[in-house]
Amino acid sequence: MTGPLIGLSTYLVDSARWSSWDLPAALLPADYHRMVQRVGGLAVLLPPDPALGAARAAVARLDGLVVSGGADLDPAGYGAAPDPRTGPVEPGRDAFELALVAAALERGLPVLGVCRGLQILNVALGGTLLQHVDGHRGAPGTFLDHPVTPVPGTLLHSLLGGPVTVPSCHHQAVDRLGEGLVACALAADGLVEAAEADPAADSAASASPFVLGVQWHAEAGVCHRVVAAFVEAAARGREARAGHGGHRRPSASLSAASSTAGASVSDGPYQVR
């Protein structure tokens, strides 16, 4: 039997060059599909699709969803005016990926967000973003390595065991956490570096067996155990659906309302709110 089918969202660019061609392309760095294949998953790319119902139809065929890195999110999507330092946005990709996340959570599929993917997950659940932070990206086209500390008692802590050094390239980040999410890793400055579903919450996120977003680039090879746990959850879900004729109990619906998080868990300049 083949591994679970994992969908990976992609870029859609006006110009990409290979061989003698220079054409518009849907693309994704090869490290993304390789990280899924390395742990037994079957990877399929999901380019942005504006057709009504396309995201839901794609997710209906999947066993798990990876939301990949990319450009800044349109701040209109979380009710904010654009900061001058916010880069070019891609509303069509935003809309498709937000719909993918909504459909995946409704179906109870595992979801893994990578860099921008964490931000998409957070906004899909009613959270907001910091539109600019310093110190989390290096020169263009490179990663900046820095330490992150998993929060004890979280799924991520159980997978990583303690502080790790991760490759980072972002200038936006989680501000207010979305409904049903908890911070599960922090940077030295207190910035939320990862968020996962709170199993105690009655939310769309907690209805899925694995919901995790990391602000760093997991595809760069530092999160083998995280990716393996995600693909294993997708495989178990496929087996469970097969045993119930492909049906599952409907999950809680996504809420557009803003979440109210608790007190800060950091003394750094970026507070978990």
Q: Give CA angle at 52 (7, 237), nearest 5°.
A: 30
SS3 147: strand
Inter-residue contact 41 to 3 (CB < 8 Å): yes
Going by C-beta distance under 8 Å and a sequence separation of 6 or more, which residues neighbour residue 99? 54, 55, 56
If you compute the radius of gyration of the chain from its CA atoms, what whole number of angstroms results?
17
Q: Following DSSP, what letter does each residue of 182-204 receive, concatenated?
A: EEEEEETT--EEEEEE-TTS-ST
Q: What distance in Å separates the CA atoms of residue 234 and residue 248, rounded to the nearest whole number?
A: 14
Q: So which residues are the catalytic ones?
A: 115, 217, 219
Q: What distance in Å separates the CA atoms of residue 32 and residue 221, rounded to the nearest whole number?
A: 10
Q: What distance in Å separates the CA atoms of residue 17 and residue 198, rounded to the nearest whole number?
A: 43
Nearest to 222 by CA among 248, 194, 196: 194
Q: What distance in Å separates the CA atoms of residue 72 and residue 150, rounded to the nearest whole number?
A: 25
Specify which residues 174 forms β-bridges with: 129
Nearest to 124 by CA among 139, 105, 145: 105
How many other C-beta atoms can be found within 10 angstroms of the C-beta atom of residue 202? 10
Q: Following DSSP, what letter does each residue of 230-242 receive, concatenated?
A: HHHHHHHHHHHHH
